[in-house]
Structure 1
């Protein structure tokens, strides 16, 4: 029986888990770390905190699982993507890591898009956007604003790669991250050389790890120093992981063309699997070999979803009883007695890609109560997901089912609304710890227990429940959805005229 140590390196903490070959989680521990925020939408972390958290969480997990350390065969990590670090020749950080949510590099993102380089095809078929969160804008910001750091940096990489270096001594990047956010394309020659050259950033090419390792492939074995800190053998393999949300696709069992992962939390991410390339305005991708060999991933996203529910809770001054709201909201008919919500509370990521768009609640009367607004928010988010699926369909990708991971999976009402608004079945696996389960599948595959990632999914990802769309409610939502689609152009027209009436 093989045992596999995983780590889910998130924004606020790192959680280690230990799995067996059947997908059972035998132990788990989380260790927090600090994020430092400052003016200009800046957010930074100390990479040494990641390593400290990993060592502590791993030791506690192994102890809880009551498994002999010698029985652990492989480690795989799923970490935040777009968390950029600059390291010296010894692998020490030259400055705090610029984490994913830091958007100081907005001017640099505009400069990347202005190149018009062919590597931007995955960004709305070259029309954008390019996010300030991504690798090249952040590296360009360092070069422009901290040239001495950029010059001294031997390696500029991500959270995932820093941990790889610390665990094995290998200077290697994940194919998952570089394809998703560094404009690397396996079918177009690899690195985006002409893009960085147009930006005057050619030196970055030598600072990136030159070895690129696909998810599920072995990077190397633990260095003596890492093995000693972890209390493990130097025979333990490090198997490549990647961005937490994408590794979560594996943990959700989303691997076949037509399947779609809906990763929920404060925001929504939609990732579909397809056998062919899809490039169009209103969708991101496709990314070849990003998760599975010879398959493509198409991407959409909603900036604010669960965060809108949290906003409602703040308005209710801490009096929001979710059980009561769910019970009352479930008794309402679709449409919430005339309420309609546009979910763009922090702008729109896809399909409109409009950072200036804003949320709206339309149709309010004195008869509406909090549970009406609560359900209308869920419906607006469901319509936002459907708008993304429609954009994907127009580009050539049609999903056949939605598999949900994250917070929305705990709400039967939200799951049913997603099924009814999209007109598609919604599946929820038995485990909602999708990034960790996905990492365990990759570790077992890399350790040689499964011939493919797909085979590992079949053995380790357990099915849960399936929610079918209800024909009557789906038909009602079809009509309301057309009203939702009319909201964006109407509100944008008002905004473009400065909000003044005709």
Structure 2
């Protein structure tokens, strides 16, 4: 009797998204479908006010547990069904290791604010060279201020350090034994010459940092080893599984939203809010008003504006004023309120602001409250205030000569139709919602798919993986109304900045 031909095993890639609260893994097939996903949380430590740290080994344990869960769910343990693995990771966090690869202190994270004095030192030492080389302002979140804080406060630790790494790069190092950092994450250190794609010897020398500390630089889709035997055993994956460098979370979010060609712009509303646009011009000057980073696409860049408390403003509002309601119930009536929330404005500066106002002291406001406003007016005002803040980043993009006619909306802001239409009206652009939106984890998987030779380019991968689900076009009447309201919104910051400076001493 003739045997049935053996069915070829379906091929997959895995994307690992190393977040601040949890690591997420996704198993993706050749059609771009997420077959399975898993996640593992880990603790955040705040030993002092303004400090934010994690233990790098918690990331490794979480990643291995999540990989094992993913493999077991899919029933592919002990097979070679996975062609490649790649990473997305929280940016800027400082990991220091000795020459044996042992971690020397807890990682200092992106949201740690202890480094204000070091930021001022960087500005004084480098002056205009900082923006001309690193292309970004000195902000507490970046890696160089953290290195300088360790240099000043824990000199013995820095003296023992052989390498510094960023979070996902440490996890990849533990999985493969290979040391590397790719350009999209390196751009967030303030140590990279962004246009030349090399470590800045000038910045390193200015702060007496030996270049031996800096990992080798690679492209996001470059292979950086295979799984170590003990890692393969723990995760139940093949030791031959190829591992690719990956990208910064925002770069991977952009890949996962198809922001891979000129004119493509994304709005991501999570805890923070991000407006990000693809850029090919390496000499464009945004004068520090927005971030300018290397993309995970080769020889490309992106301009990015950040609202610190985007979705977080809505979460804070719900938990404070409507804790008994679900988000869906809270947002249910907002479409019945006219644009402008009956004369109520909200500024989402509840934890300070980033773009276009890098200001740690400013705080939020409700302006125009009267006795006729109810919960639904305040809710709509919060949504509008978040979106006005993001429009300030859209305006910076347009100010560089970019045309922004379409914006791909992802994250929490893409889950509510009224908010999607609001984005269309405030941005005066078509808003596109994707059919399946997995964010940075999918972007990481796409890097693995491209690295593994599934597609000739990342753009071809995006065309195969991503599909438009809905489109929201601007309402001309609402656009005009929002333009005048937006001008009022922009006045709130300069009029409350000094007041908030005085109030800061009472916090």
Whether TM-score is above 0.5 comes out as yes
After TM superposition, the structure 1 = structure 2 runs for residues 348-359 of structure 1, keeping only pairs within 5 Å, are: 348-359=353-364
After TM superposition, the structure 1 = structure 2 runs for residues 52-71 of structure 1, keeping only pairs within 5 Å, are: 52-67=61-76, 69-71=79-81
Gaps of 5+ in 2: 1-9
Q: Is contact 1:419-1:467 (8 Å) kept?
A: yes
CA apart distance, 1:397: 3.2
Superposed CA deviations along residues 281-335 of structure 1, whole A, max 9, x for unmatched, are 36334334x2212322111111111111122223325133433432321101111
- Counterpart selection for 1:104 from 82, 99, 114: 114
Q: State the alpha-carbon separation in 1 of the partners of residues 104 and 503 from structure 2.
A: 45
- Counterpart selection for 1:287 from 290, 293, 302: 293
Q: Name 1:202's counterpart in structure 2.
A: 209
- Counterpart selection for 2:82 from 49, 72, 82: 72
Q: CA RMSD in A?
A: 2.1
Structure 1 residues 12 and 400: CA distance shift in structure 2, 3 A: same
**Residue 20 of structure 1 pairs with residue 26 of structure 2:** no
> Aligned to 2:293, what secondary structure does the other structure show?
strand
CA apart distance, 1:71: 1.2
Structure 1 residues 316 and 284: CA distance shift in structure 2, 3 A: closer
After TM superposition, the structure 1 = structure 2 runs for residues 72-471 of structure 1, keeping only pairs within 5 Å, are: 72-116=82-126, 120-121=130-131, 129-185=137-193, 187-188=195-196, 190-199=198-207, 201-203=208-210, 205-209=211-215, 211-276=216-281, 277-281=283-287, 283-288=289-294, 290-316=295-321, 318-471=323-476
Q: State the alpha-carbon separation in 2 of the partners of residues 405 and 122 from structure 1.
A: 32
Structure 1 residues 2 and 186: CA distance shift in structure 2, 3 A: farther
Q: Is contact 1:249-1:255 (8 Å) kept?
A: yes
CA apart distance, 1:117: 5.2
Q: State the alpha-carbon separation in 2 of the partners of residues 396 and 353 from structure 1.
A: 23
- Counterpart selection for 1:7 from 16, 23, 38: 16
Q: Is contact 2:13-2:27 (8 Å) kept?
A: yes
Question: Structure 1 length normalisation: TM-score?
Answer: 0.93
Gaps of 5+ in 1: none
Q: Is contact 1:9-1:78 (8 Å) kept?
A: yes
CA apart distance, 1:91: 1.5
- Counterpart selection for 2:477 from 461, 469, 472: 472
CA apart distance, 1:192: 1.9
Question: Structure 2 length normalisation: TM-score?
Answer: 0.92
CA apart distance, 1:475: 1.6
Structure 1 residues 330 and 122: CA distance shift in structure 2, 3 A: farther
> Aligned to 1:390, what secondary structure does the other structure show?
helix
Structure 1 residues 281 and 263: CA distance shift in structure 2, 3 A: same
CA apart distance, 1:431: 2.1
Q: State the alpha-carbon separation in 2 of the partners of residues 321 and 169 from structure 1.
A: 45
Q: What count of residue pairs does the alignment treat as equivalent?
A: 493
Q: Is contact 1:87-1:154 (8 Å) kept?
A: yes
